[in-house]
Amino acid sequence: MNQLYHVREFAQLAGVTVRALHHYDRLGLLKPSRTQAGYRLYYLRDLERLEQIVALKFLGIPLKQIRMMFHRGTNGMSESLRMQRRVLEEKRQLLDSAIRAIEEAEKATAPGNRPDSAILKKIIEVIEMQDNMDWSKKYYSEEAQARIEERKNLWSPENQERWTKEWTDLFRDVEAVLGEDPASAKAQALAARWKKLVEGFTGGDPQITAGLGKMYQDRPNWPANMQQRMQPFSNKKVWEFIQKALAAGKATN
Amino acid sequence: MNQLYHVREFAQLAGVTVRALHHYDRLGLLKPSRTQAGYRLYYLRDLERLEQIVALKFLGIPLKQIRMMFHRGTNGMSESLRMQRRVLEEKRQLLDSAIRAIEEAEKATAPGNRPDSAILKKIIEVIEMQDNMDWSKKYYSEEAQARIEERKNLWSPENQERWTKEWTDLFRDVEAVLGEDPASAKAQALAARWKKLVEGFTGGDPQITAGLGKMYQDRPNWPANMQQRMQPFSNKKVWEFIQKALAAGKATN
DNA sequence: GATCAACCCTGACGTAACGTCAGAGTCAAG
DNA sequence: CTTGACTCTGACGTTACGTCAGGGTTGATC
C-alpha cells in the first residue's frame, strides 16, 4: 500500500523529469527520504505535494515563492493567487499587443506583397502607435478615448506623413512672421491653418480638444522619445504667437 | 547634423539602458564606433537599427535570432514574423488557461469563503480538467466537442465523486460474476447499470459515444497519469464480459 | 565471485537578457 | 592637480531546469 518509488518511476508517475525532482529536492520543495546508498525514495503521499508544485508552477509562480507558500502553510494562498492573476493579466496584455502588432503589419503589407523591409517598418510604426495610445490615455476622458479610437481609421501612413509636412511648413511660416502683428491678415491666415490642422485630429470634439490641452500642459513629463519627436515644434514663441492670433481672431468676430 | 552620442545620451534617447547597449554591442547587434579611449560613440543612424532591435524584441524574438535576421538582410522577415505570431498565440493559450484556472477556482471557493487550502485543491482540479479536455480533444469531432462543452456544467465535484464511486462499485460487482453467463439476469442488470453510466457522460449523443470509443481503443497511447488514474478499471475481463452482456441483451431484444 | 546493464548520485557548465557591483581609466572644470 | 561625472571590462547573479562527466549501486547472469 505505502508504495516506495525510485526517482525515475516517480517522475514518470507525475509527468515530470528526474532532473526536475533533483531540482525540487535541492530547493527544499520536495525532500524525499533516502536509501543507505543515497538513492531518493518517494512515497505516494509525496505525489500530492508534487502535484501542488506543478500546478502552482503552471500558474507562473516562481519556485522560491512556492516554497514560501508551503512554509507559511496555506494561509494567504488565495491572496497570492489574486496577485498572480493580475500579473498574468498584465502579461497577456503585452502578448496581445505583440500579436496585434504582427497582425496589423501583415494586414497592411499583404495586399501589395511588399518587400520584406516594409513589414519591419510597419511593425515599428504599429508598436509606437500602441505605445503612444497607451501613454496618452491618461490625458483623455473615457469618451474622448472612444472618439479617438473611431477617428483612428483616418490615420493612414499617407495622411500622417501629410500632416507632419503641413505642421512643419506651418511652423516655418509662423516663425517667419513672429515680428508682425498677431491680428494682421497674414497672422490670421496662419492661425486658420493651425486651427484646421488641430481639428483634423480632434474632429471638433470638445472632449478630445480638452485632453489635447491637458497633454500639452504636461509636456515636461512627456517621455524622452516623445519630447525628441516634438522637438521641431518646441519653439514657444510660435505657440504664443498663435495663441494671440487666435484670441485676436475671436475678438474681432 | 551627424550628431555623435555617448552611451548614456543614446540610451536615454532610445529609452533603453546603458547595460543593454553594452549587451547589444557584445552580441554584435549594434556595434558603435569608438573614441581613442574606447568610449562608445553612436550616430543618429544607429537609432534606426536600435529601434528595430527593440521592436523585434518586443515581439518576443530572441536577440540571437534578431542578429541572424539582420545578417540575412530583410529577406524572410515576414516569414519569421508569421512563425513568431504562432509562437505568441500558443503562449497566449497557456496564459489564458492559467488565468482561467485561477478565475474558476476563485469563483468556486468564493461563495463560502472556504479555507485557503481548498482553493489550491480546486486549482489542481481545474488544471487537470483543462489538461484532459485538451488531450482528449483529438478523439472527438468538432460537434462532439461542442456537445461535451455543453454537458460540462453537470460535472460538479459532487457528481464526479459520485460517478467515480458508481464505476468503482460496478467494476467490483462485475468482477464478482465473471464466471457466470453474460446473458443471465444478473449480468444483464450489470450491463444496464454500465449503459446508464456511459450515457451519464455521453447524454446519448452518438458523436460523443463514437469519440469515447476511439479514445478507449487508443488507450496504449494515453499519457502516464491518465493510465494511472484508469488503472482501477483496467481489468480487460470485465470489459469483455460487459461487451458480451450488452451483445446478448441486444440479441434478445 | 566477476561482470554487465541499468540505475542513481553530485557537481559543473549552459541558457536569455540583462542588472549589479568592482576595479580602473578618461574627461572637463576649477 | 584634484575632483566629480562618465566610461570601460569582467565577473557573478537571476530562473528552472538540460546536459554531460565522472563515479557509485543493484540485481541478474555467467
Do residue A58 and residue B95 have CB atoms under 8 angstroms apart?
Answer: no
Domain, as residue range, for A19: 4-71
Q: Would A176 be classed as within a structural domain?
A: yes
**CATH code of A23's domain:** 1.10.1660.10
pLDDT at residue number B113: 65
pLDDT at B40 over 80: yes
Same domain, B187 and B235: yes
Same domain, A44 and A18: yes
Do residue A117 and residue B60 have CB atoms under 8 angstroms apart?
Answer: no
Q: Would B200 be classed as within a structural domain?
A: yes
pLDDT at B253 over 70: no
User: pLDDT per residue over B112-163, tens digit each?
Assistant: 666 777 888 899 988 988 888 888 888 999 999 899 888 888 888 788 889 9
pLDDT at residue number B234: 86
Q: Would A143 be classed as within a structural domain?
A: no
Q: Which of B15, B144, B133, B22 is nearest to A135 (CA)?
A: B15
Best mutation site among B91, B99, B125, B127 for testing chain A: the one with the most A CBs within 10 Å? B99
- Of residues A96 and B234, more confidence is placed in A96
Whole-number distance in Å between B72 CA and C23 C1': 40
> What integer best gives the mean pLDDT of chain B?
90
pLDDT at residue number A5: 96
CA distance A23 to chain B (A): 21
Three-state helix/strand/coil letters over A14-64: HCCCHHHHHHHHHCCCCCCEECCCCCEEEEHHHHHHHHHHHHHHHCCCCHH
Task: Please provide the distance, in angstroms rounded to a whole number, between the alpha carbons at the two ends of chain B.
Answer: 95
pLDDT at A253 over 70: no
What percentage of chain A reaches a pLDDT higher than 70? 97
Q: Which of B78, B81, B129 is nearest to B105 (CA)?
A: B129
Q: For strand A40-43 and strand B40-43, is the pairing parallel, antiparallel, or unpaired? A: unpaired
B85 to chain A: closest CA residue = A99
pLDDT at B224 over 80: no
Whole-number distance in Å between A66 CA and C20 C1': 26
CA distance B219 to chain A (A): 16
pLDDT at residue number B114: 66
Same domain, A60 and A111: no
pLDDT at A166 over 90: yes
The answer to whether A100 and A114 have CB atoms below 8 angstroms apart is no
Q: How is the beta sheet containing B4-5 ordered, strand by strand?
A: B4-5, B40-43, B33-34
Question: pLDDT grade, residue A78 (50/70/90)?
Answer: confident
State the complex-level ipTM: 0.82
The tally of domains found in chain A comes to 3
Same domain, B161 and B203: yes
- Rounded to whole angstroms, the Cα distance separating B97 from A88 reads 10
Q: Considering A48, A71, A94, which residue would you say is the last residue of a domain?
A: A71
pLDDT at residue number B152: 86
Best mutation site among B48, B78, B96 for testing chain A: the one with the most A CBs within 10 Å? B78
pLDDT at residue number A1: 52
Q: Considering B139, B172, B188, which residue would you say is the last residue of a domain?
A: B139
Q: For strand A33-34 and strand A4-5, is the pairing parallel, antiparallel, or unpaired? A: unpaired
> What integer best gives the mean pLDDT of chain A?
90
C-alpha distances in angstroms, B45 versus B2, B30, B157?
9, 11, 62
pLDDT at residue number A226: 80
pLDDT at residue number A119: 87
Same domain, B156 and B243: yes
Do residue A88 and residue B109 have CB atoms under 8 angstroms apart?
Answer: no
- Give the dihedral sign, CA B221/B222/B228/B231: negative
Same domain, A115 and A131: yes
Do residue B98 and residue A60 have CB atoms under 8 angstroms apart?
Answer: yes
pLDDT at residue number A176: 92
Q: Would A141 be classed as within a structural domain?
A: no
Classify residue B33 by its DSSP letter: E
pLDDT at residue number B176: 92
A12 to chain B: closest CA residue = B224
- Rounded to whole angstroms, the Cα distance separating B198 from A176 reads 86
C-alpha distances in angstroms, A45 versus A4, A14, A50, A94?
10, 12, 9, 39
Instruction: Tell me which of A14-23, A73-82, A224-233, B128-137 is least confident.
Output: A224-233
- Rounded to whole angstroms, the Cα distance separating A145 from A8 reads 57
Same domain, A106 and A158: no
Q: Would A142 be classed as within a structural domain?
A: no
The answer to whether B61 and B84 have CB atoms below 8 angstroms apart is yes
Q: Considering A49, A71, A93, which residue would you say is the last residue of a domain?
A: A71
Same domain, B59 and B88: no
Same domain, A189 and A130: no
Q: Would B144 be classed as within a structural domain?
A: no
C-beta within 7 A of nucleic chain C, residues 20-49 of B: 20, 23, 35-39
Taking residues A44-52, report their average pLDDT: 95
Same domain, A95 and A188: no
pLDDT at A114 over 70: no
pLDDT at B204 over 70: yes
- Rounded to whole angstroms, the Cα distance separating B155 from B169 reads 19
Q: For strand B33-34 and strand B4-5, is the pairing parallel, antiparallel, or unpaired? A: unpaired
Task: Give the closest of B14, B60, B127 to A55, CB-based.
Answer: B127
Task: Please provide the distance, in angstroms rounded to a whole number, between the alpha carbons at the two ends of chain A.
Answer: 96
Best mutation site among A81, A92, A122, A130 for testing chain B: the one with the most B CBs within 10 Å? A81
pLDDT at residue number B1: 52
Q: Where are the alpha helices (DSSP H) in chain A?
A: 7-14, 18-26, 44-58, 63-71, 77-109, 116-136, 142-151, 157-176, 185-202, 206-217, 224-230, 236-252
User: pLDDT per residue over B69-125, tens digit each?
Assistant: 998 877 788 889 999 999 999 999 999 999 999 999 988 887 766 677 788 889 998
- Rounded to whole angstroms, the Cα distance separating A7 from A118 reads 53
Strand C contacted by B102 CB (< 7 A): no
pLDDT at residue number B135: 87
Which nucleotides in chain D lie less than 7 Å from some protein C-beta? 6-9, 15-19, 24-26
Same domain, A57 and A91: no
Task: Give the closest of A15, A119, A223 to B15, CB-based.
Answer: A223
Which residue is nearest nucleotide D19, judged by alpha carbon to C1' distance?
Answer: A19
Q: Would B145 be classed as within a structural domain?
A: no
Instruction: Tell me which of A113-122, B118-127, B139-148, B183-192 is least confident.
Output: A113-122
Same domain, A162 and A248: yes
Backbone angles phi, psi at B4, to 5 degrees: -105, 145
Within 8 A of A66 by CB-CB distance, chain B residues are: none
pLDDT at A152 over 60: yes
Strand partners, A42: A5
Within 8 A of B119 by CB-CB distance, chain A residues are: 77-78, 81
Q: Would A145 be classed as within a structural domain?
A: no
Classify residue B245 by its DSSP letter: H
Which residue is nearest nucleotide C8, judged by alpha carbon to C1' distance?
Answer: A39
- Rounded to whole angstroms, the Cα distance separating A119 from A233 reads 29
